Amino acid sequence: MKIPGKGLLASALFRKAPAFFRCPGGEDTAVLIHGWGVRAAAMGPLARYLNAAGFTVLNYDYPTSKAHIAEHGSRFLELFRQEQLPGKVFFLTHSMGGLVLRYALAGMTEAECRKIDAIVMLGPPNRGSRLAVPGLFRGAAKINASLGDMAPGAKALEIPPPVFLPRVGIIAGNFDGKVKPADTVLPDGLVFDFCRIDCTHPGLRRPANAGTLILNFFRNGKFAS
């Protein structure tokens, strides 16, 4: 299946069931998880960038508003396990996608976690986002189940740690109006690398802004070249 871009945007928007868009490449696989309010097409530029760099790419598509984040994490893990990927596995997430992955990691065995070579999270609301507060209003969850999960202090942000944490790098945007850089960091006690770049929240998905940093971390375990 092709990586969704502009030509596949419409079909991705109306897809109800979660699924992977696949683009064959090398032995190592990069798995992408998009954030709230968009679909896999939003990660298309980064998917094509990583594929051109030699990775097989699995770009995960799911309807973000239809379930709570914990449910998204469980469903993602179920589908990911079916892939039985050879070679090294890398994860790249944007925004809420980082929380979906953290829930999936919490459900993985140690062997599954150790198979992951590195994780890069772009603007993850690990400590919440003030823009998600309307999701806590009465009746909001019936319309959008996952929004309130990202409100600061929400119970859904208390994600159990994995039995083994792979290498994690977080990239925050200095001009991010949705998730403040200080709110992207993992909970206390979890080790991660961190860097900030001059871009907005959507700008974190542009290869021109974050592409080199992502490849550096995947290949060398650090953002600096």
The closest of 62, 125, 130, 79 to 99, measured between CA atoms, is 125
Confidence class of residue 72 from pLDDT cuts 50, 70 and 90? very high
When the pLDDT of each residue in the chain is averaged and rounded to a whole number, the result is 92
Instruction: Find the range with the poorest average confidence among 14-18, 193-197, 220-224.
Output: 14-18
Helix (H) or strand (E) holding 211: helix 207-220
For residue 77, give the amino acid letter.
Answer: L
Q: How far is CA 155 from the centre of its chain?
A: 20
Q: Looking at residue 138, what is its pLDDT? A: 83
- Whether the model pTM is above 0.85: yes
- Cα distances (Å, whole numbers) of residue 117 to 42, 66, 181, 195: 24, 30, 24, 19
More confident residue, 138 or 95: 95
Confidence class of residue 142 from pLDDT cuts 50, 70 and 90? confident
Residues 6+ positions from 100 with CB-CB distance below 8 Å: 33, 62, 69, 72, 73, 76, 93
Class of the CATH domain delimited by 6-220: alpha beta
Rounded average pLDDT over 141-166: 93
For residue 33, give the amino acid letter.
Answer: I
Beta bridge partners, 90, equal: 30, 118
Rounded average pLDDT over 102-113: 97
111-122, pLDDT tens digit by residue? 999 999 999 999
Q: Do the beta carbons of residue 152 and residue 102 sit within 8 Å?
A: no
39-59, pLDDT tens digit by residue? 999 999 999 999 999 999 999
More confident residue, 16 or 222: 222
Distance CA 21, CA 32 (A): 10
Task: List the end-to-end C-alpha distance of the chain, in Å, as a whole number.
Answer: 33
